[in-house]
Amino acid sequence: MNDSFERYDMTEPPRHTKWYLRPLLRILSLPDLLIHRNRLTKAGMENIKPPYLLLCNHNAFMDFKVAVKAISPYCANYVVAIDGFIGREKLLRDIGCICTRKFTSDITLVRNLAQTVKNGDVAIMYPEARYSLCGTTAVLPESIGKLAKLLKVPVVTLMCHGHHVNSPFWNLRDRRVAPTEAEMELLLTPGQVAEKSVEEINRLIVDKFQYDDYQWLYDRKISIKYKKRAEGLHKILYKCPVCGTEFKMGSKGTELFCNSCGSRWLVNEYMRLIPESPAQKGFEHVPDWYEWERAEVRKEIEAGTYSSGTLRMHVKSLPNAKKFIDLGKGTLVHDMDGFRAKCTAPDGTEYEMHKSVPSLYSCHIEYEYLGKYGDCVDLNTLTDTWYVFPDEEDFAVTKMALATEELYFYDKKEKGREIKPGLA
């Protein structure tokens, strides 16, 4: 990468939230909390004051607003991805945000979190590192237990329910789901952190992070009246279970359909998938369909045949928080060797990025990024982030995300390394 590009300074220590921004954060969070009648319960928090490590599940921007409510009246430093800082770096630093690049091994982030607890503030992390694609738990990094041991402070969890089905990652329109729920709970005291092994801490965290927003919605019989509630669902349900065709699914209004074989499903007010014909194959529960796709990808990987093929694409780089830099057009391949992206900038400079399978346990994707750029996968180094936008029709970034995780676990298995459920 061209060294002339200014880089975001990750080494600057985290700031206390400015005194004048503290009430503003709470005021800005209040309308959505009231609209969605958020119900927050706390367990074991009676005598817990900062510093502590707060681990939150991640489904929508509402998560941050509930976190502000949960820690009130105290301050926090929030781990936020680089693109959240675009054009507002000073504001986010003053709020207390800590910048990171997703799915990288960043020792600077660990130092900043250590400084947060040294300052006496709450260290807030979203260990899934991205919005959940289908309202269920994403893979968690094995390093989270090591971080808890290093910080030597209470470990607290904040689990939110209803945020994904209210504003799913594949269509961010607010559906006015109410009431939403959240539970804040003391998971480990400093003494328990000290006496337990990293493996034991990780297992407790993984167990606590089990959730299913679609099942939560159905169990509570909360009705979604939004007339376009199916639109965008084909972004994650990209493979037809009837004919097996990939990348030909579509959605409109309250219907999901296959443009290859014509199969159709009604998405009812509880987000259940009702087939047009009783004899038609399919899944009633969205996460079941998603996990079936994962299993299908796993078969390709185990057979050694997984490949996206060579996709035409264009790249936007984000070396700092000022603006995207156009790196031009090129090709992207995702296969058994990982990601390989090559492009040529408008000035003729050639760039290349390779992310090997062992280096990436998961990846971040976007749908219709910023409402104008289309679907993309972002690939990170410690000093840069590439937003890679395929210019093809026959692909799904969802499949790339699933394949990234399954390739990582397949590689571990082939090398005889232990695979721990829910962890990478």
Provide the residue ranges of all domains of the chain, joining segments of one domain with +.
22-220, 233-302, 307-414
Could you check whether 22-220 and 307-414 share the same CATH topology?
no
Per-residue pLDDT of 78-137, as tens digits, reads 999 999 999 999 999 999 999 999 999 889 999 999 999 999 999 999 999 999 999 999
**What pLDDT, on a 0 to 100 scale, did the predictor assign at position 106?**
86
3-state SS string over 93-130?
HHHCEEEECCCCCCHHHHHHHHHHHHCCCEEEECCCCC
Per-residue pLDDT of 394-416, as tens digits, reads 999 999 999 999 999 999 999 88
**What pLDDT, on a 0 to 100 scale, did the predictor assign at position 424?**
65
pLDDT of 26 strictly over 90: yes
- Angle, CA 164 vertex, CA 362 and CA 135 arms, to 5°: 45
Per-residue pLDDT of 333-383, as tens digits, reads 999 999 999 999 999 999 999 999 999 999 999 999 987 789 999 999 999
Average pLDDT, the chain: 95
CATH number corresponding to 307-414:
2.30.29.30
Query: Is the whole model's pTM more than 0.75, yes or no?
Result: yes
pLDDT of 2 strictly over 70: no
Percent residues over pLDDT 90 in the chain: 92
**What pLDDT, on a 0 to 100 scale, did the predictor assign at position 421?**
67
**What pLDDT, on a 0 to 100 scale, did the predictor assign at position 282?**
84
Provide the pLDDT confidence category of residue 1 given band limits of 50, 70 and 90.
Answer: very low
**What pLDDT, on a 0 to 100 scale, did the predictor assign at position 280?**
83
pLDDT of 277 strictly over 90: no
Per-residue pLDDT of 229-271, as tens digits, reads 999 999 999 999 999 999 999 999 999 999 999 999 999 999 9
Provide the pLDDT confidence category of residue 15 given band limits of 50, 70 and 90.
Answer: very high
Per-residue pLDDT of 159-192, as tens digits, reads 999 999 999 999 999 999 999 999 999 999 999 9
**What pLDDT, on a 0 to 100 scale, did the predictor assign at position 137?**
95
CATH number corresponding to 22-220:
3.40.1130.10
Per-residue pLDDT of 36-86, as tens digits, reads 999 999 999 999 999 999 999 999 999 999 999 999 999 999 999 999 999
**What pLDDT, on a 0 to 100 scale, did the predictor assign at position 258?**
97
